[in-house]
Every structure is written in structure tokens, then in C-alpha cells.
Amino acid sequence: EFDKIQESAPGLIDNFVDYFEDTFIGRAIRNNRRRAPRFSVNMWNCFSRLDEELPRTNNSSEGWNRAIKVGSIILLFY
């Protein structure tokens, strides 16, 4: 499917397509195969997290960390 998208995409996004291919799905090689991507699918795919209704990111903990660093939250628990 990615090959179909790549073929139909305008030349303006060639750099993005190359980046995405190298980073997330692997570049096409002989015999209809692909090289290993920089990051494995298991590392970046969120399907199982969504299936289990878990958060997709750690944004909530990052928000708390930033707020504590700038002193904008007074902690009411000890």
C-alpha cells in the first residue's frame, strides 16, 4: 500500500516519503522485500495501547513535570 501512495504523491513530498520509509517502514529492496527501518513497528505502533484503552503518549506526566519545575502547581498531597 505504501508503494501506491508513493507513486501517486506529487514530487513535493519526496523528501518526506524518503524519511518516512527509512525511519518507519524500511526502504524497498529486491524481491519485494524491505530493509529494516530505523525504529521497529513494535516501538512506534500504538494499536495495542488503543485496544487496551491506554494512553498513547506520556504527555500527562510531561505536563506535570514541567509544571513542577516552573513552580506553578502547589502539591496538596504528601
The type of residue at 43 is: M
For 42-53, write each residue's pLDDT tens digit. 777 777 777 888
Q: Is residue 4 classed as helix, strand or coil in its secondary structure?
A: helix
Looking at every residue in the chain, the average pLDDT score rounds to 77
> Which of the 8 DSSP states describes residue 35?
P
Kindly report each contact of residues 57-66 with a partner whose C-beta sits within 8 Å and lies 24 or more positions away, as own/partner.
Answer: none
The backbone torsions φ and ψ at residue 50, rounded to the nearest 5 degrees and listed phi first, read: -65, -40
Full-prediction pTM beyond 0.85? no
What pLDDT does 26 receive? Answer: 87
